[in-house]
Amino acid sequence: MELRNLGRSGLRVSLVGLGCNNFGMRLDANQTADVVNAALDAGITLFDTADMYGGRGDSERFLGKALGAKRSEIVLASKFGMAMDDEGIKIGAARRYIMQAVEDSLSRLGTDWIDLYQLHQFDPLTPIDETLRALDDLIRDGKVRYVGSSNLPAWRSTEAEFIARELGTNKFISCQEEWNVLNRAIEQDVVPMMETYGLGMLPYFPLASGLLTGKYKKDSMPEGARLTDMPRFANRGYVTEANFAKVERLENFANQRGHSVLELAFSWLAAQKVTGSVIAGATKPEQIKSNVAAANWKMTAEELAEIDELLA
């Protein structure tokens, strides 16, 4: 497994990471352990979860239990900031909440530290300097090693960069954003911003919620799959006539070169300069092997340019 530095930091992560959003939602504790063990065997070192995954806490609980003594061998990433209750109290990025949220996550994960602690969404009620100071204190206390963000617009990340410089606090080292060959909106501003400030990308939904696996066809949607059974993913805008046509073109392009469209999806992201690790979820151990193998296609500049033309 290839290891990469995440942005300009010294944190090294596996090129393929495991997204743990299925734990506690689609997988029970035993099924989670099977997937985690398969990931460890495949050389995956980055495990990405969040406090609100799995029904507010179960993903962290199941992951911590599954890792056990191997926790020190991996890079453990989690997130805070989205609602953890229905009263609007356990949410946001204020110092008071962050200090409690990290303790709760550490307890659920069964660990003394989190390698990458990420702000899950922008908090309009809290100044970013308060958030950065609190996160800096967590690093100084040894409870967190690095900090990152997720789902922030480019100008908010730029603001955080300059305020961290002004305050002398630790800065965000990474961004986690929705990015795949079918959804390239962040290339307009987020990606150039990351290149400028040396941030590492952790793209999620690399397979466009499954559309880039090759198993979905315009007139044949398999039962039991994410886009079929979970409308909130289908409603993200992937299931369109235009995207089915794009996938068909991409599939032909990949097949002509002895690859699958799934391999194209992973390898296209791996070829992007800002990418640190491609985060993908899995519900079965065999999916882990497919995901890891999919990133082995080393795309040339010519191939990347051809893909751009296919999608134009």
Give dist(CA 264, CA 253) in Å, integer.
9
HSE-CB at 213 with a 13 A cutoff on CA atoms is 17
Choose the catalytic residue: 53, 97, 204, 216: 53
Angle between helices 285-294 and 261-270 (to 10 degrees): 60
> Is there a contact between 128 and 156 (Cβ–Cβ < 8 Å)?
yes
Instruction: Give catalytic status of residue 197 as yes or no.
Output: no
Residues 305, 307, 309, 311, CA torsion sign:
negative
- Residue 117 tokens, joined: 């602690």
For the chain, helix, strand, coil in percent to 5 are 50, 15, 35
Q: How many helices (H) and strands (E) does the chain have?
A: 12, 10
3-5 and 12-14: which strand pairing?
antiparallel
Cα→Cα distances 170→144, 150, 164, 167, 253, Å: 11, 16, 7, 9, 43
Catalytic center residues? 53
